[in-house]
Amino acid sequence: MRARQARKAHKVARVADVAGRSDQAWVPSREDLLRARDRVGVRDARSGGHVVRLLILLIGPGILVMLGENDGPSMLSYAVTGVSYGIGFFVPFILLTFVMAFVVQEMTVRLGAATHRGHAELIFDRFGPFWGYFAMSDLVVGNILTLITEFIAIRAGAAYFGIPGWMAVAVGVGIVAVAMSTRRYRTWERSVLLLALANLLFVPTALLAHPDYHALQRALITWQPIPGGASLAFFTLIMANIGATVTPWMLFFQQSATADKGMTRADIPQGRVDTALGAVLAAIAAVACLVTCAVLHQHGVQASQINGGADFASALRPFIGSVGGSLFALALMEAGLVAAMTISTSSAYAFGEVFHRGHSLNLDFPQGSLFYATAIASTILAAAVVLLPHAPLIAITITVNVIATMLMAPALLLLLLLSNDRAIVGSLANTIGQNLVAGAIVVGITLVGALYGLLTVFPHLLGT
């Protein structure tokens, strides 16, 4: 009995040490114990000079946010882009958007590690309730719309294999619920991370398409002009491709996940590597998806002839074979599923933070009732909408990415203000160079959105 009490006292003392608590009366919660257990491994790896092990322990939020954003609507946007314009203009453009994504997400790493608070909580505390609720509403609306498209992707991919839509959607909801039920951040993170790597299934489909490597190289070096000139359809895909890479939920998810993981200022270098690695992997998968579907462009297939993800896989089958078609459909399902898991979690983080309720994947169900209920409820709502008959699936997915781009400007502006607030981040505040780059991104996205709106209202400005 005494030995058991001694072990428990030793565990509490070790947790208190890792958590930086010196008061002997402090009683750690389950959340404290689980997070501190992970931090013990990080501390031991750092003190022992185990660089690779330290990186392995700390990677997660950055890769998840980047591969999570390679979601159903994003991959379908890349697919439509490939079949509409080929590889000339958009391959380097997509790579540029992932550079933008790294710049933006690196700020959330610093904010999460410096403040140990999520994005919604920080906005609420620094700018007041109005902006806190505004940011949360902005996120929730965008997330619900995006979640709908994730289940469109799951349903579309499953349709290729003859799986009924209701069954695919039900299984998707079940997987999200099971992942949340682990009540352990590390288990959830590693499980989703393993699934997210299946996004790279788009790479073998691109190889099976036997692309013109010289044309690909030429596009990367010289950045080819727009085929057929600028048009409203072209600007729609510009908006969709930006929205496929940089969206509001990413800010909320990565900062909150960084805090939930317990990352500190000392972990920021590994957080940057994590984010950069995620951007590289996601860019490879995105370009691979576009290159795969560019084979349809080469053979004169029109985007208007394709109505869904299953149609893409079927249209590709004559050119990349049945194996390639199956891999494309599987990758599309994976993209929707991973995004459903991460996006629903970002909504849960925001609700818990703004309403000052439990917001961690380490919580038990009673303590995290609002957190888990928000994630599951938003998932079920989106899944139900997808089952409505005769929905224009491709039009919905492109539109959602366009809306994501429109919502990004105010979210980025708030992020910039927080990243320059020395009262909360101190020496980790943005440098002049970082502000110039981030400011250019904000201005660029705002101008593209304004131009798209102008051309939508006055299409004759394009001479069409």
Indicate the domain borders of the chain. Answer: 1-58, 67-462
Residue-wise pLDDT tens digits, 147-173 = 888 888 888 888 889 899 889 999 999
Please state which of the ranges 8-22, 175-189, 284-298 shows the lowest mean pLDDT: 8-22
Q: Which of 215-224, 275-284, 412-421 has the highest mean pLDDT?
A: 275-284
Q: What is the pLDDT of residues 82-130, one digit of tens each?
A: 888 888 888 899 999 999 999 999 999 999 999 999 898 899 889 888 8
The pLDDT value given to residue 331: 92
DSSP 431: P
| C-beta separation of 270 from 59 below 8 A | yes
**CA-CA distance, 102 to 98, in Å (whole number)?**
6
DSSP assignment of 45-99: HHHTT-HHHHHHHH-SHHHHHHHHHS-HHHHHHHHHHHHHH-STTHHHHHHHHHH
C-alpha span between 121 and 276 (Å, rounded): 25
Average pLDDT over residues 408-435: 90
In contact, 208 and 425? CB cutoff 8 Å: no
For residue 9, name the pLDDT band (cuts at 50, 70, 90). Answer: very low
Residue 22 has pLDDT above 70, yes or no: no
* Burial class (CB within 10 angstroms; exposed 0-12, middle 13-18, buried 19+) of 55: middle
Query: pLDDT digit string (tens) for 317-354?
Result: 999 999 999 999 999 899 999 999 999 999 999 888 88
User: How open is the CA angle 131-355-186, to the nearest 5 degrees?
Assistant: 105
pLDDT in tens, 277-291: 999 999 999 999 999
Q: Binning pLDDT at 50, 70 and 90, where does residue 303 land?
A: low
Rg of the Cα atoms in the chain:
22
Distance CA 116, CA 196 (A): 25
Give residue 392's pLDDT: 62
Task: Choose the weakest-confidence range: 220-224, 358-362, 403-407.
Answer: 403-407
The three-state secondary structure class of 116 is coil
What's the average model confidence in pLDDT over 55-76?
A: 90
pLDDT band at residue 462 under the 50/70/90 scheme: low
pLDDT single digits (tens) 385-401: 887 766 666 666 667 76
Phi, psi at residue 228, to the nearest 5°? 80, 0
Mean pLDDT of 425-439: 92
For 23-37, the pLDDT digits (tens) are 555 556 777 788 888
At 177-220, the pLDDT tens digits run: 998 888 889 999 999 999 999 999 999 999 999 888 888 888 88
What integer pLDDT is reported at residue 225 of this predicted model? 74
**Inter-CA distances, 80 with 212, 301, 340, 444, Å:** 19, 11, 21, 23
**What CA–CA distance (Å, rounded) separates 455 from 6?**
71
Higher pLDDT, 165 or 12: 165
pLDDT above 70 covers what percent of the chain?
Answer: 86
The mean pLDDT value of the chain amounts to 84
Taking 3-state DSSP, the helix, strand and coil percentages for the chain, each rounded to the nearest 5, stand at 80, 0, 20
* Spatial separation of the C-alpha atoms in residues 42 and 359, rounded to whole Å: 22
| Residues in CB range of 325: below 8 A, 6 or more apart | 160, 313, 314, 316, 317
What's residue 146's pLDDT? 84
List the structure tokens of 459.
């299409």
CATH architecture for the domain at 67-462: Up-down Bundle (1.20)
Report the pLDDT value the prediction gives residue 391, as an integer from 0 to 100: 61
